[in-house]
Amino acid sequence: MGFRLVLEGEEDLVVVGEAGDGEAAVRQALALRPDVVLMDVRMPGTNGIVATERLVAALPQCRVVILTTFDLDEYAFAALRAGASGFLLKDARPAELVAAIRTVANGDAVVSARVTRRMLEMFAGHLPADGASPAEPGALDARLRSLTPRELEVLEAIAEGLSNGEIAARLVLSEATVKTHVGRILAKLGLRDRVQAVVLAYTTGLVRPG
């Protein structure tokens, strides 16, 4: 109800449906075809992870934003891997909520540096162990070998949760050039958005928690 009140106050946003569990969410989404779904992880019956997988598979154009607690739900990372386009803290300020919805509706993803780092630290034990530096010959994961050195730098920065503007400042590039690099990275790796890029960067060992 709180989210609905916030969103209905925005001229460019329309709340087309609500659901109390994952099964109802999938049914509603299939019928209403929303641009964005705000998805809780823990719900009765079908949880948010399964619901996200089903939604993304059935409605590729629909973007899912996962809602998580401040302490980070242990299942939120699985939901991101299932195809969600980002995650928000449940106590996010109204302006953050609205901005996140607009961002994913425009085809980008919501990747908070603070939340991303804390979440991935939770999964440090499940990520590749330290070994040879990815920069050394033969050490780079096969999935990343199509990227240029500059694209690898940009991917590392994305994995830290940096915005295009912040990446541009770090690498001394224009934002337009960074945007081009991001697009090429997603295309080469067959990724949906920046969230999947973050997940891949960590699961391949290109970037590690801490």
**Is 164 inside any structural domain?**
yes
**Is 139 inside any structural domain?**
yes
**Is 8 inside any structural domain?**
yes
Mean pLDDT of residues grouped by 10 in the chain (210 residues)?
89 92 93 94 86 91 82 66 80 87 82 62 54 49 92 92 88 94 94 82 78
> Are residues 73 and 135 located together in one domain of the fold?
no
Residue carrying structure tokens 């019928």? 31
> Are residues 139 and 58 located together in one domain of the fold?
no
> Are residues 16 and 99 located together in one domain of the fold?
yes
User: Which of 110, 137, 170 is at the close of a domain?
Assistant: 110
User: Which of 65, 83, 110 is at the close of a domain?
Assistant: 110
**Is 143 inside any structural domain?**
yes
Q: What is the pLDDT of residue 71?
A: 58
User: Which of 110, 144, 168 is at the close of a domain?
Assistant: 110
**Is 121 inside any structural domain?**
no
Q: What's the structural domain count of the chain?
A: 2
Q: What angle do CA 28, 65, 57 make, to 5 degrees?
A: 60
Rounded distance between C-alpha atoms, residue 172 and residue 116, angstroms: 24
DSSP 46: S
Nearest to 58 by CA among 21, 31, 78, 79: 31
**Is 210 inside any structural domain?**
no
Nearest to 111 by CA among 163, 69, 171, 166: 163
> Are residues 84 and 17 located together in one domain of the fold?
yes
- What's the CATH code of the domain at 98? 3.40.50.2300
> Are residues 86 and 10 located together in one domain of the fold?
yes
Q: What angle do CA 179, 116, 65 make, to 5 degrees?
A: 75
**Is 119 inside any structural domain?**
no
Q: What is the pLDDT of residue 132?
A: 41
69 Rama sector, left if φ>0, alpha if ψ -120 to 50, beta otherwise: beta
Judge if pTM exceeds 0.85: no
Nearest to 127 by CA among 210, 204, 49: 204
> Are residues 20 and 72 located together in one domain of the fold?
yes
- What's the CATH code of the domain at 163? 1.10.10.10
Q: What is the pLDDT of residue 130?
A: 44
> Are residues 9 and 98 located together in one domain of the fold?
yes
> Are residues 184 and 154 located together in one domain of the fold?
yes
DSSP 83: T
**Is 53 inside any structural domain?**
yes
> Are residues 7 and 51 located together in one domain of the fold?
yes
155: containing domain: 127-203
Rounded distance between C-alpha atoms, residue 139 and residue 174, angstroms: 30
What sign results for the dihedral spanned by CA atoms 107, 110, 111, 112? positive
